[in-house]
Structure 1
Amino acid sequence: MYLDIVTRNGTGDIKTHLHALENACQIAHALHCLTIRIFPFRWPDNRKGPFGTKEDMDRIIPNIKRAIEIAKSYQVTLVLENCPYSHLPKGEMTLQVVRALQSSYLKLLWDPANSYRAIPANVPKEYMHWNLKEELEHMAPYIGHIHIKDYRYDASSPKPFLHVPVGKGDIPYSDLLTSLCENGYTGSLSLEPEVDGKGSIECMRVLKKMVNNVS
């Protein structure tokens, strides 16, 4: 189980967000839940991509280091999620941060669907080479949590990445779960179906079947 504390997008400076993290650490202890999800900062609406450039990394990494210092003081582990609305939409990008900081209090929250739907114009070219299985192979030793949802790409749609039940989209979850098992992953999976109630039940059944097939 992990704790998810969300502050309002685009409000407050780094000091405000670090204060929110400290409050989250206190809540985590009260709930006996010592893993907290964090994001690598939302990209500004008034700026065009790409994001996650060297200049962005030079600002992100010191701020995440400050977050780690807070987490360490509370003996809490942070899991950094790749998110298409942040500076680091691809898993490979969050991996760079975790490798740079080398802390036992910082791991990856890998969302393969978020990596898949990352907008190419928002991603520096050097992060566009790995497919999802390759991304997983590099990230596996650093993963602390995983999110599961699925997309189907439809170029004719105004929003081409369509939410669909797990197993009916483009994410090769059977292969990814097999790779996770082979790499010794023993952590949790969180289902984020983002479909209706009937579709969510279907996601649960399909994911349970997939997990049983590789365990």
Structure 2
Amino acid sequence: MKYALISGFADEIAGDVDTQFRVLGKLGIGYFEPRGIDGKNIANLTDEEVERLKGKMKACGIKASSIGSPIGKVKLEEDFEGHFRQFQRVVEIAGQLGAKYIRMFSFYHEGGAEWTEGERAEVLSRLGRMIAYAAERDVVLLHENEKDIYGDTAERCADLMEELGCGHFRAVFDPANFVQCGQDTWEAFEKLKGHIAYLHIKDALLADGRVVPAGVGDGNVERILRSLLEKGYDGFLSLEPHLGSFDGLKDLELDDKMLNLPPGGEGTFTLAFQALEGILERIL
């Protein structure tokens, strides 16, 4: 039995969409999570560029599972109005590409690991405004647990979901990111499982934070997948390999854990896909 809803960040294959789609087709993957598109971030595409991307998607039989946006991946101290306008543009692009979901984050700050009540309140206020806008346009914001943002630990992710969780604000569960924050991923899963609408397939080692193929690290990927699928999960499994460097990686990471990797590409993406396939074969 094949799992139908496999997607991935195809910019880890190559910067150009033609190569991305060629490899996705070769692997039998019918979805992608657009992030890097021909050297530009998805949020920065013009209408003309979006139309050109739509044409290539249609020609190759590829659909967008979620927009891999950078929304919320800025500091609280930065101007929010400009960022909100970028968010509105991302919502527009999601509509143009037929994507129901938009991946997003919950802001960095200057204060290190500790967050004040005032900062928490500001995060909730900003997210609440974006959720209301998403609800008006019938898209779903997916919060990703990411290193160094407010929602990096399971406790703070749960806080966001308890305060704001709804049909238009759900969770992306990324095991590797929790590992890199020193979190027990099974405990995190237990806290968040009622809010998970989307999964990033990425694993890492607790010892040094190094990303490894799914099932090889300390992310409990197979155990979590098994639990979700046995309970009827039918959402996307999105490959985010991070097994090699790729264009735009340096713009995604604040620290240097991921910046000394050998070049990635079709080989590392295929390895990540094969690791997921192996897990699914054991489960299904």
Q: TM-score, normalized by length of structure 1?
A: 0.82
Indicate the residue corresponding to 1:161 in structure 2.
Answer: 209
Report the alpha carbon displacement of residue 150 of structure 1 after superposing the two structures with TM: 1.7
Instruction: State the distance in 2 between where 1:65 and 1:214 align.
Output: 37
Indicate the residue corresponding to 1:207 in structure 2.
Answer: 276
Report the alpha carbon displacement of residue 12 of structure 1 after superposing the two structures with TM: 4.6
Q: Does 1:173 align with 2:221?
A: yes
Deviations 1:173-192 (A, max 9, x none): 11111111233321111111
Indicate the SS of the match to 1:37.
strand
Indicate the SS of the match to 2:150.
coil
Instruction: State the distance in 2 between where 1:146 and 1:194 align.
Output: 15
What residue ranges of structure 1 are gaps of 5+ in the alignment?
Answer: 120-127, 155-159
Indicate the residue corresponding to 1:3 in structure 2.
Answer: 67
Would the alpha carbon gap of residues 9 and 58 (structure 1) be closer, same or farther in structure 2, given more than 3 Å must change?
closer
Would the alpha carbon gap of residues 58 and 12 (structure 1) be closer, same or farther in structure 2, given more than 3 Å must change?
closer
Matches for 1:110-189 after TM superposition, within 5 Å: 110-118=173-181, 131-154=184-207, 160-189=208-237
Indicate the SS of the match to 1:75.
coil
Instruction: State the distance in 2 between where 1:180 and 1:91 align.
Output: 17
Report the alpha carbon displacement of residue 55 of structure 1 after superposing the two structures with TM: 3.5
Deviations 1:54-75 (A, max 9, x none): 4332221111100011101111
- The answer on whether the counterparts of 1:91 and 1:111 sit within 8 Å (CA) in structure 2 is no
Higher relative contact order (CA 8 A, sep 6+): 2
- The answer on whether the counterparts of 1:165 and 1:200 sit within 8 Å (CA) in structure 2 is no
Report the alpha carbon displacement of residue 85 of structure 1 after superposing the two structures with TM: 2.9
Report the alpha carbon displacement of residue 171 of structure 1 after superposing the two structures with TM: 1.8
Indicate the residue corresponding to 1:33 in structure 2.
Answer: 99
Indicate the residue corresponding to 1:125 in structure 2.
Answer: none
- The answer on whether the counterparts of 1:152 and 1:169 sit within 8 Å (CA) in structure 2 is yes
Instruction: State the distance in 1 between where 2:201 and 2:155 align.
Output: 17
Query: What letter is aligned with 1:14?
Result: F
Instruction: State the distance in 1 between where 2:113 and 2:189 align.
Output: 25
Indicate the residue corresponding to 2:114 in structure 1.
Answer: 50
Query: What letter is aligned with 1:163?
Result: V
Indicate the SS of the match to 1:78.
strand
Instruction: State the distance in 1 between where 2:100 and 2:145 align.
Output: 20
The runs of at least 4 consecutive aligned structure 1 residues that moved more than 4 Å come to: 7-12
Indicate the residue corresponding to 2:59 in structure 1.
Answer: none
Would the alpha carbon gap of residues 54 and 214 (structure 1) be closer, same or farther in structure 2, given more than 3 Å must change?
farther
Identity over aligned residues, as a percent? 25
Q: Does 1:90 align with 2:159?
A: no
Instruction: State the distance in 2 between where 1:174 and 1:57 align.
Output: 33
Matches for 1:90-109 after TM superposition, within 5 Å: 90-109=153-172
Equivalent residues, number:
197
Query: What letter is aligned with 1:205?
Result: Q
Indicate the residue corresponding to 1:22 in structure 2.
Answer: 88
Q: TM-score, normalized by length of structure 2?
A: 0.64
Indicate the residue corresponding to 1:68 in structure 2.
Answer: 131
Instruction: State the distance in 2 between where 1:86 and 1:22 align.
Output: 21
Report the alpha carbon displacement of residue 9 of structure 1 after superposing the two structures with TM: 4.2
Instruction: State the distance in 2 between where 1:103 and 1:169 align.
Output: 32
Give the aligned CA root-mean-square deviation in angstroms.
Answer: 2.1
Indicate the SS of the match to 1:17.
helix
Instruction: State the distance in 1 between where 2:135 and 2:84 align.
Output: 13
